[in-house]
Amino acid sequence: MELLALLSSRDESVISSVKGALKLYTVYPLKTLDELEDLYGNLPLNLLLIDTSSHKLSSLGDFLGRLDNDRVVLITQDKLDKYNKEQLPRSVFDSVITEEIRTELPLIVERALERHRFKSELKLMKQSREVAAPMNTGLYNRADSEVFSSRYEPVQGAGYLHEKVVVNFARMLTASFDMRKLFSHFIDSVMEISRVSRMSILLRDKDIFTVKNY
């Protein structure tokens, strides 16, 4: 089961709302940043939920900067506009306002955890390719080469990783109709293959085009 931490020093209603919305996960409620840092250093937390009404982002800058990408979901009083979202640290995946904890938070958490699982699969695929690569250096005899080729031929070159990325996305496409989740997985797939850190997608709706930043 995924482990989540909630940083909030507000009244118990916020904690009960979050726990009620995330019954499928284990949520650790914490009141101070020191408690969160200690828990994060000792447990494999999958996601951090931070209540910005009780813990201002300005006081969390150093901590957020040390986290991996997409590791945090913010709980805010008011909706963040596009400019404020763009200024957030890369460790922040998304945000939800207090009034929408019950309805929106489960969806956001699911998307964030899906992205983590997707990235973990990509990492494992890369490691598998790196382990297999030394076998292609010619430091073994011909007989070994024939055995290796017959058993492990698919693990060769960057094309194998690209193929696995596309296959993984195809599985997601057949299993989900959540367009936001599909869009995130599609972008992750393209970014993994093309090795870029930012993208802009031109979306067409009949004769109208809009740009979606990612």
Q: Above 90 in pLDDT, residue 213?
A: no
- The last residue of a domain, from among 101, 126, 144: 101
Same domain, 144 and 191: yes
Q: What is the mean pLDDT of residues 176-201?
A: 73
Same domain, 18 and 65: yes
Tokens of 113: 């955890």
Same domain, 17 and 71: yes
Which residues, other chains included, contact 202 with Cβ-Cβ below 8 Å and sequence gap of 6+?
209, 210, 211, 212
Q: Which residue has the higher pLDDT, 20 or 159?
A: 20
- The last residue of a domain, from among 52, 70, 101: 101
The C-alpha atoms of residue 108 and residue 94 are separated, in whole angstroms, by 7
Q: What is the pLDDT of residues 48-78, one digit of tens each?
A: 999 998 888 888 889 999 998 899 999 999 8
Average pLDDT value for the chain: 78
Same domain, 122 and 62: no
Same domain, 88 and 128: no
Instruction: State the pTM of this model.
Output: 0.61
Domain that holds residue 130: 109-213
Number of domains observed in the structure of the chain:
2
| 3-state class (DSSP) for residue 29 | strand
User: Which domain CATH number covers 70?
Assistant: 3.40.50.2300
Q: Residue 196, class by beta-carbon neighbours within 10 Å (0-12 exposed, 13-18 middle, 19+ buried)?
A: exposed
**How many residues make up the chain in this entry?**
214
Q: What is the pLDDT of residues 124-154, one digit of tens each?
A: 777 666 655 554 554 445 444 444 344 444 4
Report the range out of 7-11, 97-101, 124-128 with the highest average pLDDT. 97-101
Handedness of CA 158, 164, 167, 171 (dihedral sign): negative
Same domain, 140 and 67: no
| 3-state class (DSSP) for residue 135 | helix
